[in-house]
Structure 1
Amino acid sequence: MPQAIIFDKDGTLFGFTQTWAPWCVDLMRDLGRDDVHARALSDAVGFDLDTGTYAPDSPVIAGTPDQSADLMLPLLPDWHRADLIAHMIERPVTPVPATDLLTVLEALKTRNIPMAIMTNDSAAAADEQLAALDLAHYFDAIVGYDSGHGMKPDAAPLLACARLMNVPAQSCMMVGDSPHDINAGRAAGMRTLGVLTGVANAASLSAADAVIADIGLLPDWLDTQT
């Protein structure tokens, strides 16, 4: 059993499409001059404005706000990059839990398992979203792409989480919904667990040590591990 767990945020703790599709629809309508322009912006980030779904290979699924901004900026000549990034980070989002998070986190807490979050979103956004659900206090560390440790799929931010929890990296497990999460965990020498509450399917997460439907199954799954 791992001594500590590092979670991805979107697609792992929160359902990805349920959380970010409404946000993206509103953003595109806000930024777009008209319907044609809004659809062009949506296409740039791999989002279908009609169905409210992300393409499986959308570069923004595991990307950062900076990367999303760079994809749209050629279509937004009146925007400065820093302003667009700030606009996206500050734009409210309603996080939709992927499962009964309170029950899961309480179960892990009773096992005395330290927990951290490493997200390619901003640390401030993660703090705000978790605080809105009164869940931030369950985590020993919350690290974003802008926390100074880099971003997934690099190992560095996961190694930083391990240090912040004072647990050896090889004793941690990375839980995530994208190949970026799994590849980062493997690069950090950690066990990896994939979940299917993002856009990726099980085949896309085949490099993980195991794949489960959602983290609601995590406490029982841990009981089967040695």
Structure 2
Amino acid sequence: MRRNLASWDAYDAFLFDIDGTLLTCTDAVHYFAFCHVLESIAGKPLTLEGVTAHGNTDLGILRDALSLAGVREDTWRPMLPQIQETLCGFVRKRESELCTTILPGVRDVLDHLTGREAVLGVATGNLEAIGQMKLKRAGLLAYFRFGGWSNGFEIRAHVFDAAAAQARSLAGAQASVCVVGDTPADIRAARENGLNVIGVATGIYNRDELAAAQPDLCLNSLAELPIPAHSTRNAHALRA
């Protein structure tokens, strides 16, 4: 169902992607974590060249990179729990190096939805520990009651399915759920799960590219969403 811009906030629950939607990371810690893990598996230096990272999951990125390098799945899949921990551990040791920037309109939107008592969660390709570190560094973690992470999931639609189930366990079985994401993959994953979706062109895809995937709303940034002035004033007063 297409949503009028004025009623964008009428959903019971929202699932936010992280990278390119809520924030950007100007460091390369996550990237080098992949390179470290890939080399430990393949026994030679590997990069993410040729791998689609945006809109993918951490496990999907690892799978695709190893496939491109010709590494057989049966040599690494049995070690997947250890691989996930190694990836997270690399970032954890360098957490202080994470350089996050909150994207336009994000904090006002989260404050407004929190004031409306909407259920807020994340639905992301990040592994849980990595996603939480990014949100913590940006000062956004406290907004979210739960997370749909890629631990155990290679396919984004499966992450969204799990996140939507968590949202409805909190907001009610018939709750309306809306995804907010910055890639066509977010829009497709939302549609596969029967979810509404707002596309926001603050990642690598422009508005026209997102609009082609037919989200319910398509924005240049979350700053375009109308928020009542009293909502913003109340949020600023609480943070003061």
TM-score (norm 2): 0.67
- The alpha-carbon deviation at position 140 of structure 1 amounts to 1.8
Give unpaired runs (5+ residues) of structure 1.
46-58, 222-226
* Preserved CA contact (<8 Å) 2:60 2:154: no
The answer to whether the 8 Å contact 2:127/2:149 transfers is: yes
Q: Which residue matches 1:137?
A: 142
1:190 equivalenced with 2:198 (yes/no):
no
Q: Percent identity?
A: 22
Deviation at 1:194, TM superposition (A): 0.1
Distance 1:162 1:30 in 2: 34
SS of structure 1 residue aligned to 2:112: helix
What amino acid maps onto 1:214 in structure 2?
A: S
Describe the superposition over 1:199-220 as per-residue Cα deviations: whole angstroms up to 9, x where unpaired.
1222332210111112233353
Give the SS at the match of 1:131.
helix
Please state if 1:172 is matched with 2:177: yes
Match of 1:210 among 217, 225, 238: 217
Task: Tell me: CA distance 1:42–1:157, structure 2 relative to 1, closer, same or farther (3 Å).
Answer: same
Aligned residue number for residue 112 of structure 1: 117
> Within 1, Cα distance between the matches of 2:141 and 2:130?
12
Change (3 A) 1:76 1:181: same
Query: Does 2:156 match 1:152?
Result: yes
* TM-score (normalised: structure 1): 0.71
Question: Residues of 2 paired with 1:141 and 1:97: CA distance?
Answer: 19
- The CA RMSD measured in Å over matched residues stands at 3.3
Is the counterpart of residue 65 in structure 1 residue 74 in structure 2?
no
**Inter-CA distance 170–199: structure 2 relative to 1 (3 Å threshold):** farther
Question: Aligned in 2, Cα 1:182/1:32: closer, same or farther, shift over 3 Å?
Answer: closer
Query: For 1:116, what is the secondary structure of its paired residue?
Result: strand
- Deviation at residue 32 of structure 1 after TM alignment: 9.6
Q: Is the alpha carbon distance of 1:180 and 1:170 closer, same or farther for their aligned partners in structure 2, counting shifts above 3 Å? A: farther
Bigger drift between 133-142 and 88-97 goes to 88-97
Contact 2:101–2:138 (Cα < 8 Å) also in 1? no
Distance 1:11 1:140, change over 3 A: same
Q: Distance in 1 between matches of 2:176 and 2:59?
A: 32
Task: Give the paired residue count.
Answer: 199
2:167 to 153, 162, 168: 162
The answer to whether the Cα contact below 8 Å between 1:196 and 1:214 also exists between their aligned partners in 2 is: yes
Q: 2:15 matched to which residue of 1?
A: 6
Q: Which amino acid aligns with 2:156?
A: K
Provide closer, same or farther for how the CA distance between residues 20 and 144 of structure 1 changes in structure 2, counting only shifts above 3 A.
farther
**How many angstroms apart in 2 are the aligned matches of 1:113 and 1:41?**
40
Change (3 A) 1:168 1:177: farther
Conserved? CA contact 2:105–2:221, under 8 Å: no
